[in-house]
Each structure stands twice: as C-alpha cells, then as structure tokens.
Amino acid sequence: MDVDTVLWSRLVTGMTLGFHVIFATLGVGIPLMIAIAEFIGIRKKDHHYTLMAKRWSRGFVISVAVGVVTGTAISLQLALVWPNFMKLAGNVIALPLFMEVFAFFFEAIFLGIYLYTWDRFKNRYIHWLLTIPIVAGAGMSAVFITTVNGFMNQPGGFTMEGGQFTAVDPVQAMLNTATFSKVFHVLSSAYLTSAALLAGIAAFTMLRKGVSGYHKKALKLMMGVVLVFGLLNTSTGDLSAKFLAEHQPEKLAAAEWHFETESGADLILLGWLNAEHEVIGALHLPKFLSFLAFGDFNAEVTGLNEYPLDEQPPLLVHYLFDLMAGIGFALLGISLLYFLFVFWKKRNELNKWLLRVIALGAPLAFLGVELGWFYAEIGRQPWIIRGYMRVEEAATTSPSVRILFFLFLLLYIVLGAVFVLVLRRLFNNNPAEAEMEKWMQHAGDNTTEKGEHER
C-alpha cells in the first residue's frame, strides 16, 4: 500500500478538523453566552445585556456558516478519504452520527427562528426560550459526535468475526468507557473557550477605545463564566487523565514520556529527549503522575515500553499535552486574578496589564482546544479504531487525495480570511456604543427595530 496517500489522507483530515474545531467550539459555546446575556437583559431590564445578545448572535451566525460548511466537509470526507473505515465502523457508529444530524437539524431550525423573531413576541421570555433548543441542540451534537470519537478510542459493543463487526449493540458502542470523560471535557472546554473569546474581545476593545459600560459588563459576565468553566474544565481534564491511565495507558505514557512501568511515577513538565530517549532539562514533580493517574502517590503507572514499538504513539504529544494543560490552568488563573482585583478595592480590575492578559487569553484558549484535539488524535496513532484497525488500512488509495489537500487548504485560507474581514466590517463600523444610542433613540417606537435584521 502506498504510504504517501495515507499521509496525505491524514493531512487532509487533520487540516479539515483543525479548521472545523475552531468554529465547532464557537458553535457549541456561544449560544450559551447569548442565552445568559439575553436572560440577564430581560431580568434586569438592562439594555446593555440585550444588545450583547444581539451583537453576539450576529457574529455567531457568520461563524455558524463556516462551522456548518466545514462540518459538512468533514462528514463527507469520512467516507471519501476513509472508505474502509466507514465500511467497517459504519455498522457501529451510524447511530450517533444519525443522532448528531438530528440535533444539528433541531438547532438549525431554531437558530433561524431566533434570528428573525427579535421583535415578534410581546412576552420577551418567549424569544429567550428559543435559545434553549439552540443551546441544547448545539450541546447534544457535540455529545453525539464525541461518542464516535470515544468509540474510535475505546471500541466496544460488538464482536469481531472474520474482519467484520457482528452482534452490534449500538447503544453500548456509544456509551463506551471513553465517552463519559471525553464528553464533559469537550463541553466544558467549548464553554470556557467561547467565554474567554468574548471576554478577550471586550478587554481588547477597552484597551483600544477606552472603558465603556457595555464592555465592562460584558467582561465581568464572561469572566464569571470563564471562572466557572475553568474550574469544571480542569476537573474534567483530571477525569480524562484518570481514564487514560486505566484504559489507554500508552496515550498517557507517551504524553508524559513515561517509559518504564513504576510505582510513584514522576510528572514531567516540558524538557526534551536525547537520542537514548532520556529526558533532559525537564521539571520533575515527584510521584505526581501516580497521583494524577490514580489519586494515589504510590500507584503503579504503566510505561510505554510495555507496548510494541509499532503501537506506540509519537512522543511529540508530550508538548501538546503540557501546553494544553498549561493553557487550561492559565485561563483559570486569569479569571481568579480578575475577580481578586474586583473584590480587592485598592486594585483596579480594568488596569491595562490585566486587560492585555485577558485579551491574550482568547487566542490562547483556541490554541488550547487545538492542542488538546491534536493530543487526543495523535496520541491514538497508529490506530484509527484502537486495537482493531490501523490508519493505513483505512485510508483511500486514490492518489488524487494529494491534490485535494491543496484545494481544501486554499478553501480554508479563503474562508478564514473572508470570515475575519466580514466580522471586522460588521463590528468595527458599528461600535456597541453607537448602536446603543441609535437603539435608545428609537426605544418605544416599535417599527424602527425591524429593519435591522433584514437585508
């Protein structure tokens, strides 16, 4: 089999997923933020929050558009680039894929209604209620698709007979051992990242244009969400590590450069490897890996050398893991610092340095998501279905896949560039303050609002 087409297949899929995950994260996370803002706006009768919901949802649609089309791309690519995988696994993963489409359908319907009915209901809570199916649909599609990924890591719910999956139990395949920790980590990181992004935008705008009531409120609200989901995210991350230690020890061992099985294993931060696979220049936290993995400083952690060489994941994943975890803690730290400043009267929580750090948190959060996914996926190599099918057995044999890589690369560059341009035009030419003023002038006059969401 031609190694080259396999590598190109990997690259096409990796690139598409890497691009899609940005918009998928936004697609899962932002609706919750919109729902929270609109609810507070109605509750407190504070127009700033309602405006937040409106402006966020306007930006959100644009990102949904890119998310939808890249999502369509990846779901088709599954069959186009990995035909053998789909032929084998289609028997088992069809159910969650199908359910994901339903969840997405549900979300799509209500998103359309939500966007075009801002002023159609007398009771404003009715319009707010429309966010519930959107948040639920977005969350559920993440849940279902993550169960598919869970299955690829921890296949179950079938028996293997003559190269075919038989006696399939689709529900058991969905509720595989990896699903639980994965789902919660994916959801919490999506909410964390979206909140970090919106907080970062508010901080960035205040840095450039000075403090304003609207952005101050947005920052505080989103930092609160960052704090909550930062805490949740670290605990679900811990859960995932414990899952790995028990069920996928080679992935954890590769991430920690843990070669020899031993009890009381050290946690290794950064560093590098020499030719003899010895760790140099790393920070060792004695016995912490055992604690991280099993909640016991003296527990035995399986080492990578227990696995045959051709079943070991690449050792590069160590850096991905360390950076992802580092970013997770950094985001939590930033939000803690912010609230420390808020409650500690002598300090100004809106000082330039803190705002800069918060603004930096937004791209960092996305980097964290990317690193986390790359760790999860590269850490599973060489398997596509762990223990059952290797990646090179699953890929297409068509040499055209190389050309397609460049075609898709071009597509994503164009999409990404236009996405940024459109968002800039949408928000830079129409700052929140100006929009608020325009809006307040027309308050009470119901007819003027309508033009806004039409062409």
Partner 1 sequence: MSYELIGISVLWLFLYGYLIVASIDFGAGFFAFYARLTKRDHLINRLISRYLSPVWEITNVFFVFFYIGMVGFFPDTAYYYGSGLLVPGSIAVILLAIRGSFYAFENYGSKNNIVYLFLYGATGLLIPASLSVALTLSEGGFISEQGETVSLDYWGLFTDPLSWSIVGLAIVSVLFISGSFLAFYASRAEDHSALKLMRSYALFWSTPTIIIALTAFIYLGQHNERHFQNMMDLWWLLALSVGFFMTAMWLLYGGRRYGLAFICIMLQFFCAFFAYGIGQYPYILDPYITIQSSVTSPSMGFALVVVFIGGMCLLIPSLILVFRLFLFDADYVKGMK
Q: Which 160-219 positions form the footprint of partner 1 (CB under 8 A)?
A: 165-171
Instruction: Give me the DSSP letters along 362-402.
Output: HHHHHHHHHHHHHHHHHTTTTEEETTTEEHHHHS---TTHH
Nearer residue to partner 1 within complex by CB, 117 or 235: 117
Helix axes 317-343, 352-378, angle to 10 degrees: 150
Site for partner 1 in 410-449 (CB under 8 A): 411, 415, 418-419, 422-423, 425-426
What is the footprint of partner 1 within residues 313-372 (CB under 8 A)?
none
Q: Within positions 12 to 71, which residues make up the interface with partner 1, using CB under 8 A?
A: 58, 61-62, 64-66, 68-71
Q: Does 4 bind partner 1 (CB under 8 A)?
A: no
Site string for partner 1, 394-413 (x = CB under 8 A): --xxx-xx--x--xx--x--
Nearer to partner 1, 67 or 230 (CB): 67
Name the CA radius of gyration of the chain, rounded. 24
- Using an 8 Å Cβ cutoff, are 128 and 42 in contact? yes
Is residue 400 within 8 A of residue 394, CB to CB? The reply is no
Out of 11, 46, 47, 106, the only residue in the binding site for partner 1 (CB under 8 A) is: 106
Measured between its terminal Cα atoms, the distance across the chain in Å is: 53
Task: Scan residues 128-157 and list those touching partner 1 (CB under 8 A).
Answer: 133
Rounded CA-CA distance 371/358 in Å is: 20
State which of residues 4, 43, 45, 76 lies at the interface with partner 1 (CB under 8 A).
Answer: 76
Q: State in angstroms the smallest separation of the CB of 68 from partner 1.
A: 6
Contact between 110 and partner 1 by CB under 8 A: the answer reads: yes
Closest-CA residue to 276 (of 298, 292, 293, 259) = 259
Minimum distance from CB of 246 to partner 1 (Å)?
28
Number of DSSP helices (H) and strands (E) in the chain, helices first:
15, 10
Candidates 44, 72, 272, 356: give the one binding partner 1 (CB under 8 A): 72
Least separation, in Å, of the C-beta of 261 and partner 1? 39
Q: Which amino acid is at 334?
A: I
Q: Which is nearer to partner 1, 5 or 290 (CB)?
A: 5
Q: How far is CA 52 from the centre of its chain?
A: 22
Helix, strand, coil proportions of the chain in percent (round to 5)?
75, 5, 20
Enter the tokens of residue 175.
């509720």
Closest to partner 1 by CB, 291 or 419 = 419
Give yes or no for residue 295 binding partner 1 (CB under 8 A). no
82 versus 375: smaller Cβ distance to partner 1: 82
Identity of residue 356: R
Binding window for partner 1 (CB under 8 A); candidates: 30-38, 92-100, 291-299, 326-334:
92-100
Contacts of 112 (CB under 8 A, 6+ apart): none
